[in-house]
Structure 1
Amino acid sequence: MRDTIADMCSRRRHRLLVGLRSRCRRHPLPVSVLLIASAVLVARPTAAEGGATGLSGDSEVSARVARLYEDAAAATQRYELGRREAEAQRAEALRLEELLTRERAQIAALHEDLGRMARAHYRQGGGMPYAARMLLAGDPEEMIRGHRAARQAEKTIDNAVARSRHAEARLAADEAKARQRWEELDRRTAALATTKRSLEKKLEEARWTLQGQADTSAAAGSCRGAVRLDQPGTVAAHAWVAPVRTYELSAGFGSGGGRWANRHTGQDFAVPIGTPVRAVGAGRVVRVSCGGPFGIEIVVRHPDGYCTQYAHLAAVTVEQGEPVSAGQWIGQSGTTGNSTGPHLHFEVRVTPEPGSGIDPVPWLLRHGVEL
């Protein structure tokens, strides 16, 4: 039976290729179009083959994107934490600079006082030898008083010199400490920024590799099968969650534009390729499909009867009929189908079929999820 089906498929592909060639003679087409069409017809896998062919390579790329996504998120958190710590260090360094400025002013004042005392001491005969002062003294008491005054002046000068030297030593130590703080700050900030840029570059490359695989599947209209990824370690704390963790809202429900035949039927979340897409609530997967305007898409039916759709994906991590829980990764975002850039198209429907959508934002809000 399998041989018969294979023969029928082979004959069908042969007839289509012959038809294409004859049409080409009647209506010439660009060579690239014919080559792409021929490649799709010859190499297009069946639905059964799509789950097995190339799965290991696809899984590896999807898993790499997921790991890099988590690593980049962690690196960003470390970078932000480091940036806040750097701001604290910067404030401390600026405080040290203010202390240094005050210390320099104090040292200048000490030097000025020291010079003034030295000049006064000299004018009072402090620079004369002790024997000369004895000879010039009018009486012994005057000599003793002069000697005491001279000793007191010398002691004051010595103390001032000691304070000045101590202040200069403290200033030098504080300047070295401040310089070390600034150097550590610069090194740490540079290291964090380098790590972050490196991860982001690797992630970007892996994302477009994943998107290339997704485009191939969407063009063939045959899904690659579920790519099993390690689920996030934390379980959703609520029964309902947003479909992606971090995002920017773009096109909303009912908005107009040349990209849609009538009105926009869902809410778009602008996210990079490969962003983990979460089931907004518990339910069961009722559709996994590829091709068409939604590209690679997943539809989940929830216990209350409503269905949620996740479209323009780059990969899926669940199979049709599989139960899912709130917050579970069910796919990775992409830009397959009728998409002008990486984002997640999210719909809430009364039925699994298109055309029964309602505004997702108030629906999620009723379930405790504020976007």
Structure 2
Amino acid sequence: MRLPHCHAVLAPVLCVLLALLAPPARASDGPSASGEVARLYEEAAAATQKYEQGKRAAAGERAKAGRLEGLLTRQRAELALLHADLGRIARAQYRTGGGIPYTAQLLMAEDPDQLMRGQRAAWQADLAVDNAIAKTRRATNRLDRDERTARKAWQQLDRRQTQLASLRSGIERKLEDAQWKLQGEADGQATAGQCRGAVRLDQPSLPTGKDWVTPVARYELSAGFGGSGERWASRHTGQDFAVDIGTPVRSIGAGRVERVSCGGSFGMEVVVRHDGGYYTQYAHLAAVTVDQGERVLPGQWIGQAGTTGNSTGPHLHFEVRLTPQLGSGVDPRRWLEEHGVKL
């Protein structure tokens, strides 16, 4: 089964979830929680699909409710004008003596022809009143119906938003449980100083036409090369990427895995030797997905980020070196930029 790409509509936490919970195809001596992680992956994938469908449905309901609110505003204004017209016609009819019987008006009139003309005008006024009343009644009924429809649309939207919040909360709880289970097993390996072996994850489609890529797809930069701090004996020797536990870590370019180790201040780490003679280090991992001596390609997943070793929180420590050993590092940010990758 191939792991889906992280799409732009997905929230970053959901992308991490898909990467973290990918079921291993095989492992030389994989984590004991592999079966549980695989099960969580299937549950999370289904929940993520429902979440995305719900987001689209909620957006449609919100747009529909907004259109109805605009229609109701116009209908209320039209109804107010109809009521004003109805009142004006009623007042005019009252002033013309519409309440006196026509026969009595005819007997008292000095000019019957003028009275008949006035009566025709009164009949026309009555017809206008009847039409205005009917039009007002239809507008009132339509307004009542549309207000009920608008209330129903907003209620549906509220229910959808509640469901989405509950779904997202459930995903995040499962994500956190799985992350720390993975990190706990990684800590055990780092403490023992012995990696259990590569956990084989189905790889995504590798980037085409690129010789070099960033070590993680989505990130925030934190500590940079040459920085000082109480956590380092002298100067910071690499570039840190702030990412969540389980974030896929990828080889920045083609090469061969020089070393996989699980002890010391870097915790679980991978060192790759590239064809140009440079070495890259990926440290503080929670899982390793390659073995020593293995050939890797640009963008290939070689591990998952974590917080093993001398680490105060989840991140990837990345170095570019002239040799496999610590102390031969160059500025990774500048080196990547020289190779067409801008952080």
Supply the AA of the counterpart residue of 2:336: L
> What amino acid does structure 2 have at the position aligned with 1:286?
E
In 2, Cα distance between equivalents of 1:349 and 1:72: 42
The one-letter code sitting in structure 1 at the alignment partner of 2:207 is: A
Which whole-Å deviations, capped at 9, do the CAs of 1:211-239 have from their partners, x for residues lacking one? 1101111111110100111222x331333
Q: Percent identity?
A: 60
Query: Matched residues in 2 for 1:334 and 1:76: separation?
Result: 26
Question: Greater helix percent: which structure?
Answer: 1
The reply to whether residue 248 of structure 1 matches residue 220 of structure 2 is yes
Partner of 2:249: 277
- Quick one: which amino acid aligns to residue 112 of structure 1? A
Tell me what 2:308 maps to: 336
Following the alignment from structure 2 to structure 1, what is the Cα–Cα distance between the partners of residues 41 and 64? 39
User: What TM-score, normalized by structure 2, do the two folds share?
Assistant: 0.82
What corresponds to 1:146 in structure 2?
A: 118
Of structures 1 and 2, the larger Rg is shown by 1
Whether 1:60 aligns to 2:35 is: yes
Q: Kindly state the Cα deviation for residue 75 of structure 1 after the two structures are TM-superposed.
A: 7.7
* One-letter identity of the residue aligned with 1:326: P
Unaligned runs of 5+ in 1: 1-49
Distance 1:191 1:73, change over 3 A: closer
Partner Cα distance (1:97, 1:197) in 2 = 31
Q: Indicate conservation of the 8 Å contact 1:51/1:224, yes or no.
A: yes
Distance in 1 (alpha carbons) for counterparts of 2:324 and 2:39: 32
By how many angstroms is 1:307 displaced? 1.1
CA contact (8 A) 2:51 2:167 kept: no
2-structure distance, mates of 1:68, 1:257: 42
Inter-partner Cα distance in structure 1 for 2:274 and 2:41: 26
| Paired residue secondary structure (1:261) | coil
Higher mean Cα deviation, 155-164 or 173-182? Answer: 173-182
Deviation string, structure 1 residues 227-257 (Cα, Å, up to 9, x no partner): 111222x331333221112111111111001
The residue number in structure 1 matching 2:142 is: 170
In structure 2, C-alpha distance between the alignment counterparts of 1:254 and 1:356, rounded to whole Å: 13
Measured against aligned partners, the alpha-carbon deviations of 1:229-287 in whole angstroms (never above 9, x if no partner) come to 1222x331333221112111111111001111111110011111111111111211111
1:14-59 Cα offsets, whole Å, 9 max, x none, are xxxxxxxxxxxxxxxxxxxxxxxxxxxxxxxxxxxx953xx36243
CA contact (8 A) 1:214 1:315 kept: yes
Q: C-alpha separation between the residues in 1 aligned to 2:92 and 2:84?
A: 12
Instruction: Name the CA distance, whole Å, in 2 between partners of 1:266 and 1:109.
Output: 72
Distance in 2 (CA, whole Å) between partners of 1:110 and 1:171 is: 13
Matching of residue 220 in structure 1 with residue 192 in structure 2: yes
- Report 1:1-371 matches (<5 A): 51-52=28-29, 55=30, 57-60=32-35, 63=38, 82=56, 86=59, 90=62, 93-94=65-66, 96-232=68-204, 234-237=205-208, 238-371=210-343
Q: Which moved more, 1:66-75 or 1:278-287?
A: 66-75
> CA–CA distance in 2 between the matches of 1:215 and 1:68?
26
- For the 8 Å contact 2:31–2:185, the answer to whether it is kept is no
CA gap of 1:193–1:104, structure 2 versus 1, over 3 A, is same
Specify the SS of the correspondent of 2:341: coil
Conserved 8 A contact 2:256-2:294: yes
Farther off after superposition, 258-267 or 99-108: 99-108
TM-score for the superposition, normalised by structure 1: 0.77
Q: Give the Cα separation in 1 of the matches to 2:48 and 2:337.
A: 27
Q: Secondary structure at the match of 2:126?
A: helix
CA distance in 1, matches of 2:153, 2:327: 62
Could you say if the C-alpha distance between residues 67 and 275 of structure 1 is closer, same or farther in structure 2, counting changes exceeding 3 Å? farther
Shift of 1:304: 1.2
2:251 and 2:273 mapped to 1: Cα distance?
10
Can you list the C-alpha shifts for 1:165-194, whole angstroms capped at 9, x where unaligned? 222123223322332332233222222222
Tell me the C-alpha RMSD between the 2 structures.
2.8
Q: In the aligned structure 1, how far is the partner of 2:233 from the partner of 2:309?
A: 15
Corresponding residue pairs, total: 316
